[in-house]
Amino acid sequence: MEEIEVKFLDIDQKSIEKKLKRLGAKKEFDKFYKSKVFDYPDFRLDKKFSFIRLRDEGDKIVLTFKKRLGTKKTGENDDGMLEHETTVGNFEETTDIFIAAGFVQKYYAEKRRIRYLLNGVEFDIDFCPMLKPYLEIEAKSWEDIDKAINLLGLNPKDKKIFSATQIYDLNGINEFDYKELTFDRLVKR
**pTM of the full predicted structure?**
0.88
Segment holding 147, helix H or strand E: helix 142-152
In this prediction, residue 160 has a pLDDT band, given cuts at 50, 70 and 90, of: very high
Q: What is the DSSP letter of 25?
A: P
CATH number at residue 19: 2.40.320.10
Q: What is the DSSP letter of 168?
A: H
Residue 37: its pLDDT value, please?
Answer: 96
Structural domains counted in the chain: 1
In this prediction, residue 3 has a pLDDT band, given cuts at 50, 70 and 90, of: confident
What are the helix (H) ranges across 54-141? 91-100
Q: Is 1 exposed, middle or buried (0-12, 13-18, 19+ CB in 10 A)?
A: exposed
* Full residue range of the structural domain in which residue 52 is found: 2-188
Name residue 82's beta-bridge partners: 2, 67
**pLDDT tens profile 51-104:** 999 999 999 999 999 998 887 666 677 777 889 999 999 999 999 999 999 999
Residue 84: its pLDDT value, please?
Answer: 96
Phi, psi of 97 (to 5 degrees): -60, -45
Check residues 189 and 14 and name the one with the higher pLDDT. 14
Residue 136 has pLDDT above 70, yes or no: yes
